């Protein structure tokens, strides 16, 4: 391969943020190269629960905030893209569920009062009963209330595969990345010995952003990591469930999503409060025991005697916030030709892309003619983690 290349936009990180951005820019005629040092989607993206939030969950804190209103349009944008009529053609991406549910077990009406105090919420949720309940909750012993949220749940492996397809020949496996400077200005990156010049360089490498910034001699924007200790369980007796189960507080007690395993069984992926601070402190064995107790309490009619269990430790990477609070928007910072950011949620990948596109427009960055790219070493696709943890 030649030892120098040039492109309009050089993107670092092949998670959902980078892949979505790459597809959008290519669609607009920009030439791009996307660098990935591991597997495409193999960071947080494939380990996410795939929920396309519309922000309703955040209304558990009371009224929707301005910031969470920004996320409200995401289900529509994704729905259109998956329908093949949106900003990207994501037809073929598997929709696991057309809705996410809010499930209040027993008589916990109290914690829903502030939630339904918001008019915006009342217009977005509807209570479901009987046959309209999610399959896993259709049981005579089920007690509680269930509300349908107009939020989608996606099969992330099929999303990553489709975005990788839209990337054409722009993907490049990269091991070593160093700055390429001219007269002290960053003009590109040297990737495994190949100098790649670009009009703009975008770092969206998730948890890898901090290390990349350090290699460029930068310590801003600062990043925070939020560790989680998720649980997966596979059983012949599991039916699909996509729900936030409410506890006494403002955070869901457990968030359940269901993922199809290659042996035809369903895998439940459990997050929410279970996976946060106390869960992080537990050993895998103690965390599995805590999850068993939760499910025995919440869905006692499901026989899990054949179940296989595993845990997954994973960190969310986000821009640093005071008190480790969760940002509700995609985040983008700039310095010269360098743009750095985090979508903060898979659902917000379109918002992240909007922010980059707005900078390109503001700066008058246009697609320019480039030599066709040589064959680049292509990064592998990430495999669903449940296939590896529960073969
Ligand atoms: P990543 O997916 O982490 O991708 C970054 C990529 O950059 C990786 O592939 C990595 O290998 C690569 N990389 C790193 N360093 C380098 C380097 N030096 N050179 C080249 N490449 C590099 N969001 C939702 O909207 N809905 C959900 O239901 C949801 N559930 C979640 C559940 C869990 C357990 C977790 C952890 C997160 C969840 N999220 C969810 C958040 C969501 O997963 C992330 O916000 C999103 O995936 C981040 O995408 P990304 O592309 O920025 O990062």
Write out the DSSP string of 230-298: EEEEEETT-----EEEE-SSSSEEEEEEEEE-TTS-EEEEEEGGGGSHHHHHS-HHHHHHHHHHHHHHH
Report the CATH number of the 4-45+159-222+323-389 domain.
3.50.50.60
pLDDT for position 131? 93
Q: What is the mean pLDDT of residues 289-299?
A: 96
* Distance between Cα 317 and ligand 1 center (Å): 7
Q: Which residue has the tokens 């995609």?
A: 330
- CA-nearest residue for atom 46, ligand 1, is 346
Q: Rounded to an integer, what is the distance from CA 195 to the centroid of its chain?
A: 31
- Ligand 1-lining residues (CB < 6 angstroms): 12-18, 35-38, 42-45, 47-51, 53, 174, 177, 204-206, 208, 212, 228, 230, 271, 314, 316, 342-347
In this structure, the number of other CB atoms found within 10 A of the CB of residue 267 comes to: 23
* Distance between Cα 241 and ligand 1 center (Å): 23
Domain chopping of the chain, boundaries: 4-45+159-222+323-389, 101-149+225-319
Give the strand pairing for 32-36 and 243-246: unpaired
* Distance between Cα 17 and ligand 1 center (Å): 8
Q: At what angle do helices 16-27 and 349-362 cross, to 10 degrees?
A: 50
pLDDT tens profile 33-57 = 999 999 999 999 999 999 998 876 6
pLDDT tens profile 226-284 = 999 999 999 999 999 999 998 877 678 999 999 999 999 999 999 999 999 999 999 99
pLDDT for position 69? 59
CATH topology of domain 101-149+225-319: D-Amino Acid Oxidase; Chain A, domain 2 (3.30.9)
* Neighbouring-strand partners of residue 105: 144
Mean pLDDT over all residues of the chain? 91
- CA-nearest residue for atom 8, ligand 1, is 43
Write out the DSSP string of 91-140: TTPPEEES-EEEEEETT-THHHHHHHH-HHHHTTEEEE-GGGS-GGG-ST
pLDDT for position 72? 82
* Distance between Cα 36 and ligand 1 center (Å): 12
Q: Rounded to an integer, what is the distance from CA 271 to the centroid of its chain?
A: 13
pLDDT for position 63? 45
* Distance between Cα 128 and ligand 1 center (Å): 33
Specify the ligand 1 atom closest to the Cα of 205. Answer: 7
Top pLDDT among 260 and 118 is at 260
């Amino acid at each position: 391969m030649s030892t120098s290349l040039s492109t309009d936009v050089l993107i670092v990180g092949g998670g959902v943020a980078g892949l979505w951005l790459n597809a959008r820019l290519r669609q607009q005629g920009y030439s791009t190269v996307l660098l990935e040092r591991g597997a495409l989607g193999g960071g947080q993206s494939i380990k996410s629960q795939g929920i396309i939030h519309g922000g309703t969950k955040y209304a558990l804190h009371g009224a929707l905030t301005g910031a969470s209103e920004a996320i409200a349009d995401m289900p529509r944008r994704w729905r259109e893209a998956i329908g093949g009529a949106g900003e990207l053609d994501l037809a073929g991406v598997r929709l696991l569920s057309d809705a996410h549910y809010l499930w209040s077990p027993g008589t916990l009406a109290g914690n829903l009062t502030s939630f339904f105090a918001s008019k915006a919420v009342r217009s977005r949720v509807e209570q479901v009963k009987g046959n309209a309940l999610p399959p896993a909750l259709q049981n005579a012993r089920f007690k509680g209330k269930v509300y349908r949220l107009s939020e989608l749940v996606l099969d992330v492996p099929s999303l990553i595969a489709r975005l990788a397809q839209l990337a054409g020949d722009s993907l490049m496996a990269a091991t070593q990345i160093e700055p390429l400077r001219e007269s002290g200005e960053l003009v590109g990156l040297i990737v495994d010995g190949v100098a790649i010049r670009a009009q703009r360089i975008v770092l969206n490498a998730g948890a890898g952003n901090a290390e990349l910034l350090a290699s460029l001699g930068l310590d801003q924007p600062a990043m925070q990591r939020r560790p989680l200790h998720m649980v997966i369980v596979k059983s012949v007796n599991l039916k699909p469930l996509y729900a936030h189960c409410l506890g006494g507080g403002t955070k869901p007690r457990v968030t359940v999503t269901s993922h199809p395993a290659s042996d035809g069984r369903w895998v439940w992926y459990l997050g929410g409060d279970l996976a946060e601070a106390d869960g992080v402190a537990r050993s895998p064995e103690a965390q599995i025991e805590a999850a068993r107790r939760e499910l025995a309490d919440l869905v006692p009619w499901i026989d899990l005697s054949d179940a296989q269990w595993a845990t997954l430790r994973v960190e969310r990477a986000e821009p640093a916030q005071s008190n480790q609070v969760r940002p509700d928007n995609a985040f983008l910072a700039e310095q010269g030709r360098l743009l750095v950011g985090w979508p903060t949620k898979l659902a917000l990948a379109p918002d992240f892309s909007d922010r980059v596109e707005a900078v390109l427009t503001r700066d008058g960055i246009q697609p320019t003619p480039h030599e066709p790219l040589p064959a680049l070493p292509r990064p592998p696709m990430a495999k669903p983690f449940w296939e590896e943890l529960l073969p």
